[in-house]
Amino acid sequence: MEPAQLLINGLNSRESEPGLQQSAGAGVDQPLLGNRTSMTRLSPKNRSNRSRSDGTDFIQTDEPAGGSGSGGGLAGNAATSSAALSSPAASSAAGAAAARIGESSIADAPIGETSRVTKRRGHHRKNSDPLPHKPSDLTLLQQFDELATRAKDSAEQFMHHVWTRGWRLTPHCRLPDWLKDNDFLVQGHRPQLNTFAACFKSIFRIHTETGNIWTHMLGCIAFSGIAVYFLTRPSIEVQWQEKVVFAAFFLGAVLCMGFSFIFHTVYCHSERVGRLFNKLDYCGIALLTMGSFVPWLYYSFYCQLSPKIIYLSLISVLGTTAIVVSMFDKFAAPQYRPLRAGVFIALGLSGVIPALHYVILEGFYSAIYHASMGWLVLMALLYITGAVIYAVRFPERLFPGKFDLWFQSHQIFHVFVVAAAFVHFHGISEIANYRLTAGDCIA
């Protein structure tokens, strides 16, 4: 019998030991011809047992490729190999020696030959390796942290989707003529958006109208909340007469800022829609001016009916005239910007007449401390200053392209309007408080 065959038989006898039984019908792979390395494949059952012991799936043996030197060496040990077959312990030692021979042959063999030997160590997970966490193993805090992370990622993806989807900012030179209002704003304009949904989605993007939209939208929300709170007070706190008087101011403030932010939102929808809401925007300015006069005139001439009726009628006529003038399409043209500002400044300055009348009638001290004249003057200065800034288009006129997105003249004008409205609300609250605590008029 050939020496190589004797060694293979010895290995087979080792596999027949208890705990390493080979399944019936499992054969032994034939040696690879022309190579120094051959493999003895274990059966699936024995492979599993072998893997648990040292993680090796194959046992390697050295076999000569026909050289006499190797054959002589193995032939010289033939008797030892035969003795190994007679003893189980000896066969086990022979098997271990063959395994060591196979390992050393891998280390000594060239790279090209060792690459043909398949060894899979560490295939099975060690008992010390941690298993992946199951959902039930996670603590409540860990689950909450995971949910928060997913919610944050979803919000970021949504904002990125809203930010990048649909349209891109357009320079002023590429806008249609009906969208060209301020040529000192060079970049960052919205293109024409043909749907109201796209227009309202643009509220959450940065462009030339973002500041105009948010300043008056927040102002509209604020005054709506104040109005609801004030008008729902029980009669023991606020009588219905005061509610009606203040309602005129609240209505003017909410309509002015509401029309304004809607106009700046849908202005790019189409030319027809832009013109319609532009007219409503001008109407809102006139309504705010008229509504602001009503409480002040009512409480300043609290005991004089004739001046009260005359001045309320005057401001109503002037406000209606401003609304009618703003209905003309040419009134909204960019070249008539100074005219628009002049009309609304004149409407506001008409309040100088009843203010002088009160000073002459009641005196300067009473006008300051009882009629809130100081707050009225501050309100007028804020309105006029904002309108002048809007008319001259400062500061973008001096630095074209530098204030395209923020701190442009129209945004500053909006901030001044909101501030003036709050100042006026404080002033009329002071004068109303004085009149209601001073008592009724003496006949």
Binding-site annotation, residues for Zn(2+): 264, 410, 414
Residue 61: in which H helix or E strand, if any?
strand 58-62
**Contact, 279 vs 332, CB < 8 A?**
yes
First to last CA, the chain: 143
3-class SS string, 266-335: HCCCCHHHHHHHHHHHHHHHHHHHHHHHHHHHHHHCCCCHHHHHHHHHHHHHHHHHHHHHHCCHHHHCHH
CB atoms within 10 A of CB 80: 12
Report the alpha-carbon distance of residue 246 to residue 360 in Å, rounded: 26
41: which 2 tokens?
């494949």
Peptide bond into 395 cis (omega under 30): yes
| DSSP-assigned letters across all residues of 96-137 | HHHHHHHHHHHHHS-HHHHTTS----S-SPPTTSPPPPPGGG
Report the alpha-carbon distance of residue 422 to residue 219 in Å, rounded: 9
- Scan for tokens 């030959």, then name that residue: 113
Task: Tell me whether strands 37-41 and 58-62 are parallel, antiparallel or unpaired.
Answer: antiparallel
- Binding-site residue numbers are 264, 410, 414
